[in-house]
Amino acid sequence: VSSEDVSSEDVPGEDVSGAGAGAGRGEFAGLAAVVTGGASGIGLATATLLAARGARVACLDLNPGGVPEPLLGIATDVSDDTSVRAGVAAAAEALGGIDVLVNNAGIGAQGTVESNPDDEWHRVFDVNVVGMVRVSRAALPYLRRSAQAAIVNTCSIAAWAGLPNRALYSASKGAVQSLTLAMAADHVREGIRVNCVNPGTVDTPWVRRLLGSADDPAAELAALQARQPTGRLVGAEEVAAAIAYLASPLSGATTGTVLGVDGGMHGLRLRPA
Ligand code: NAD
């Protein structure tokens, strides 16, 4: 990414041309956002929504090739500290700083404590937990310079519910939830808010891949839908809307919270008859 990717006439709050440019209107006008895992699913929906509401947005992703304009795709592996530092610096240079960080990149894992070997635990925690730590560490110096700094982490219903055959994934998301609260405490007096969302089962390429590998995809889809009190999967754009709220100045008094976007899974516990 070169500085030529963004117009030198880039005036906060006004329309800008060039990579990463948002519409310049809405509650994110003049703000710059970084979304990890921003090339697919929840991350892409979030990046698209933030840009539509005026943000300049960079998507840091392993595979940023398909990221549509005006989003700026930057190849980054959150499990590699050198890659993260380069990706965050490139984003900050192209966007003119960082006001909003959405730590969304994550990978799934199935299994029990008996079936997942140690190296699998290390691999998933390295992406899902330490990945967020690396990106936050690299972005904090930029966020401190923002008057409207916010971090939103994509956690999961798995942090709340005892999901079968998801010991490793659930533990990684439990760590993300605790990390969110601890970071909120550490940075509250610096004016940096930190919150997370806990989605239920969301209709994304990830879930479609899982369904595709099931013995009976239709039965598996029906089971996932029935697990949520609303009786349907969550839309990626519904999670994006929750993330956008927590990232925006509209939630200026909210930090250290966990917002469920889970079709009622956590709050209702039982499926209505
Ligand atoms: P997805 O697979 O559609 O998108 C994930 C993106 O992250 C991909 O673009 C991928 O390339 C990127 N990514 C993966 N590893 C990376 C790495 N090491 N460095 C940089 N980028 C990387 O998945 P999704 O369903 O949109 O999930 C996004 C987040 O939402 C994850 O943190 C996931 O745990 C969480 N989540 C998903 C669901 C769901 O049902 N889909 C539910 C709860 C939480």
Q: What is the pLDDT along the chain (273 residues), one digit of tens a residue?
A: 333 333 333 333 333 344 455 545 799 999 999 999 999 999 999 999 999 999 999 999 999 999 999 999 999 999 999 999 999 999 999 999 999 999 999 999 999 999 999 999 999 999 999 999 999 999 999 999 999 999 999 999 999 998 999 999 999 999 999 999 999 999 999 999 999 999 999 999 999 999 999 999 999 999 999 999 999 999 999 999 999 999 999 999 999 999 999 999 999 976 655
Amino acid (one-letter) located at 158: A
Alpha carbon distances (Å) from 9 to 31, 93, 262, 270: 15, 14, 42, 55
Å from CA of 52 to ligand 1 middle? 21
Q: Residue 28: CB partners within 8 Å, gap ≥ 6?
A: 22, 50, 53, 54, 55, 100, 244, 247, 248
Tell me if 50 sits within 8 A of 66, measured CB to CB. Answer: no
Which residues, other chains included, contact 56 with Cβ-Cβ below 8 Å and sequence gap of 6+? 6, 10, 16, 20, 21, 22, 31, 32, 33, 70, 72, 95, 96
Residue from 41, 169, 198, 240 carrying the catalytic annotation: 169
Of ligand 1's listed atoms, the one at least distance from the Cα of 169 is 34
| pLDDT value of position 21 | 54
Q: Omega of the bond prior to 117 within 30 degrees of 0, cis?
A: no
Nearest ligand 1 atom to the CA of 202 is 40
Catalytic residue check, 169: yes
**What confidence score (pLDDT) does residue 6 get?**
33
| Interatomic CA distance for residues 144 and 99, integer angstroms | 9
* CB-ligand 1 contact for 204 (6 Å cutoff): yes
**Residue for token digits 């500085």?**
3
Token couple for 212:
């595709």
- DSSP letter, residue 43: H
- The finding on whether 198 has its CB within 6 A of some atom of ligand 1 is no
Q: CA-to-CA distance for 12 and 88, rounded, in angstroms?
A: 20
User: What separation in Å is there between the alpha carbon of 240 and the centre of ligand 1?
Assistant: 13
